[in-house]
């Protein structure tokens, strides 16, 4: 969830601990990437190119490149730097906003995973982001989009804590969340301890709560066809959406 339209430095202090946290809680990027690749192959046999928008530190791309020639887009320069270090010079990681990025070329598949679309926040920006994703699809190309929670699925007042460690570093992250209208707010407090000392900092993430009808409408308005929702395909109660760019 890393394509926020807020200040670029929101990940300035947490980017280095991001992968440790998600690896520590067992996020299976390899399995998720395989599922996505299979969805693409089923709808576009022979697909060879894929663009991952809001790619974060490249956790999915490192596996998706086994089946596609891949590129990524990431708003945060800190997360993009982590992705470049992980993937190497052979994979282009572009810095850009999912609502406005324009690479000037099209791909057999475009993905926006880990519910990053929630950072669009408003229904208008959801439409702009989906239209931008669709504009990067080749005719017959496949879009795979992981939704954030709907207003009905949001659990107001939820709190969470994660603690992980590796040799020379221990990380703890607590999260409290609430709702402001159609926006979910997640306040995170990080504690990162190394032999050199302890860094404690906070970051806030604000994500739009879109109904399934609003997501479907955005996909349809972008000119996509064969729109399909897979409820509960993403962690928790979140849906995965698949749609196809029309052939000429």
Q: What is the pLDDT of residue 5?
A: 37
Rounded to an integer, what is the distance from CA 42 to the centroid of its chain? 22
Domain contains 229: yes
The domain that holds 199 is classified in CATH as: 2.20.130.10
| 82, 119: one domain | yes
Q: For residue 74, give the 3-state DSSP assignment.
A: strand
| 219, 179: one domain | no
Domain contains 2: no
| 145, 173: one domain | no
| 91, 197: one domain | no
228: containing domain: 8-150+210-244
| 75, 126: one domain | yes
| 29, 68: one domain | yes
Domain contains 1: no
| 189, 68: one domain | no
| 202, 219: one domain | no
| 78, 177: one domain | no
| Rounded Cα–Cα distance for residues 125 and 116 (Å) | 13
The contacts of residue 98 (CB under 8 Å, 6+ apart) are 3, 53, 54, 73, 75, 112, 116, 117, 119, 120, 129, 132, 133
CA dihedral 96, 233, 147, 157 (to 10 degrees): -120
Q: What is the pLDDT of residue 8?
A: 47
Q: For residue 109, give the 3-state DSSP assignment.
A: strand
Tokens linked to 240: 């995965």
How many residues in total does the chain contain? Answer: 248
| 219, 194: one domain | no
**Mean per-residue pLDDT pooled into runs of 10, the chain (248 residues):** 44 92 95 98 98 98 98 96 97 97 98 97 98 98 98 94 97 97 96 97 96 98 98 90 96
Task: Give the chain's domain count.
Answer: 2
| 18, 86: one domain | yes
Q: What is the pLDDT of residue 65?
A: 98
The domain that holds 139 is classified in CATH as: 3.40.50.150
Determine how β-strand 197-208 pairs with β-strand 183-194.
antiparallel
| 19, 107: one domain | yes
Q: Would you give the DSSP letter of residue 154?
A: -
Q: What is the pLDDT of residue 12?
A: 84
Q: What is the pLDDT of residue 248?
A: 85
């Amino acid at each position: 969830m890393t394509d926020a339209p807020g200040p670029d430095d929101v990940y300035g202090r947490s980017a280095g601990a991001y992968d440790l946290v998600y690896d520590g809680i067992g996020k299976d990027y390899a399995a998720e990437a395989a599922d996505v690749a299979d969805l693409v192959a089923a709808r576009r046999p022979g697909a060879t190119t894929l663009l991952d928008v809001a790619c974060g530190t490249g956790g999915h791309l490192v596996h998706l490149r086994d089946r596609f020639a891949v590129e990524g887009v990431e708003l945060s320069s800190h997360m993009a730097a982590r992705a470049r270090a992980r993937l190497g010079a052979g994979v282009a990681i572009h810095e850009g906003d999912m609502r406005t990025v324009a690479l000037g070329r099209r791909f057999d598949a475009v993905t926006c995973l880990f519910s990053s679309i929630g950072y669009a926040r408003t229904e208008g920006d959801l439409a702009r982001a989906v239209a931008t994703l669709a504009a990067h699809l080749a005719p017959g190309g496949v879009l795979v989009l992981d939704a954030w929670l709907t207003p009905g699925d949001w659990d107001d007042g939820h709190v969470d804590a994660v603690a992980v460690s590796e040799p020379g570093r221990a990380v703890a992250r607590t999260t409290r969340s609430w709702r402001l209208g159609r926006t979910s707010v997640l306040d995170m407090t990080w504690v990162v301890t190394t032999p050199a000392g302890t860094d404690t900092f906070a970051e806030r993430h604000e994500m739009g709560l879109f109904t399934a009808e609003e997501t479907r409408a955005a996909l349809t308005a972008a000119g996509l066809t064969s729109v399909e929702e897979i409820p509960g395909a993403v962690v928790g109660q979140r849906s995965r959406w698949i749609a196809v760019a029309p052939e000429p």
